[in-house]
Amino acid sequence: MPPPDECHHNPNEDDVNSPTSPLNLLDQNYQELHQNSLTENTLYNDELFPPDNSSIGLFDDLPPEVDMSQVVWKRPSVYVTSDMVTIIFWRFGKWIDVVIDDQLPTIDDELLFVCSKTSNEFWPALLEKAYAKVCGSYADLHAGFISEALMDFTGGTHMYYTLNTAPADLWKIMECAFKSKTLMGCGSNTVVRKTLPNPGSKVMSDENPVQLVRLLNPWGEEEWRGDWSDGSPLWDTVCEEVRKICHDVLNNGEFWMSMEDFTKIFENIDICCLCPDFLDGSAECHWTSKRHFGRWNAGTTAGGDIVKTETFWTNSQFRVKIDELNEECASGQRPENILVSLMQNHEKRHRNSQDNFNIGFYVFEMRSESGRFSSEFFIDREPVAQTDELVWFREVMKFFRLEPGEYLIVPCTENLGETASFVLSVFSKNETHLE
């Protein structure tokens, strides 16, 4: 179910849809298809995502015991009553309605991909099928980043922290995120990627406070075996009441770690919230969002990064005016008042058929001047904020502070002439004007 639009988003002429009035993927209208099935008294068969290998796609690393020639597509109605299915996703700034039939790939009567612990629960497999249709095939779901799925499933705002350079109050940020029912995920290049359901608890260990993090490994039963794991003797140092609440010796993929170990073992954390309001701790201060759909076109608006001194100025330029904060917002818990997100979209259906460009953005202070800035404006001018580096992620973001005034945001790809559409989003707890 799509979340409410809590971040006071201001739509423009290119952004008029919503969770309650989404676009139709591949022009398939659920109501029309449903009525046709009722009229013809037949179960729906999706011709645009058929029950064959074209929908499964090509995997490079399937286990040898998986014989794709043995796949049989079955409906949940074989086991339980089923119906038509429609699911809404958020993709590249737009809400889209995805219609699927309920035929699922099986081998030997077992679901080939996502399955539930209970035999009559099929919504995870149907959700997976709808997302596979959005991305092109089941194979196109293979690998990727937690942040992309969190954003596609919720339409939320994405914040990203590299753990070895994270702010000192990260545990407090995670605690606030958990209280606001925000989704979080963490990952590492050296250990299995895991989701993070909550920041855990602060416990007293021999009268010393310890910040603990509760994690879930969604891939199986593998767990952390170090300090504060299920079998750790450190649990004997906390009171019995806390042990009863927190300590379970179960091989279920859930485990505890200290915040110190968490930031050492894992490399990054993604936080996907409906709105950054939770960071301020003030019910009187509400963030707003502005969004613009743009495009890098070779030869006109794809000028490369800032070191391309002769062409950088040809990139799209966005003027931002930031007003004074009101008293309630100015007294917030964190100094940051701006979050800028840049997302690239190559507009191909199959997710794995395209490579991302290295992308980023630069923010410059400016005066009240009209017109487009030429190359002279950027000569020897240092940005007041920028992405840490230009990277090949689908989306990059930066959370920072800007004083009231006027600024110029320039999104770019690393190389000259790289063509793609993009979505630039600005979230602010100031009143902000974007042109």
Domains and CATH numbers, the chain: 9-143 (no CATH), 158-272 (3.90.70.10), 284-434 (2.60.120.380)
Q: 3-state class of 203 per DSSP?
A: strand
What percentage of the chain has pLDDT greater than the value 90?
Answer: 45
pLDDT in tens, 224-255: 889 998 889 999 998 888 888 888 777 778 88
Can you list the alpha helix ranges (DSSP code H) found in 303-432?
A: 327-330, 375-378
* Rg of the chain, C-alpha, whole Å: 24
d(CA 5, CA 17): 12
| Confidence bin at 82 (pLDDT 50/70/90) | low
**71 pLDDT more than 90:** yes
Mean pLDDT of 140-146: 86
d(CA 244, CA 390): 47
Contacts of 181 (CB under 8 A, 6+ apart): none
| Residues acting as catalytic residues | 217
Q: 3-state class of 365 per DSSP?
A: strand
**1 pLDDT more than 50:** no
Q: What angle do CA 354, 355, 359 make, to 5 degrees?
A: 130
Contacts of 255 (CB under 8 A, 6+ apart): 214, 215, 217, 223, 224, 229, 230
Q: 3-state class of 374 per DSSP?
A: coil
Query: Does residue 292 contact residue 424 with C-beta atoms inside 8 Å?
Result: yes
pLDDT number for residue 14: 46
**Low-confidence winner among 43-57, 91-105, 240-254, 332-346 (lowest mean pLDDT):** 240-254
Torsion of CA 22, 28, 32, 35, to 10 degrees: -110
User: Residue 81, exposed/middle/buried by CB under 10 A (0-12, 13-18, 19+)?
Assistant: exposed
Helix pair 146-154, 123-135: axis angle to 10 deg: 100
Minimal CA–CA distance to 259: which of 289, 303, 315, 215? 215
Can you list the alpha helix ranges (DSSP code H) found in 237-286?
A: 240-246, 259-265
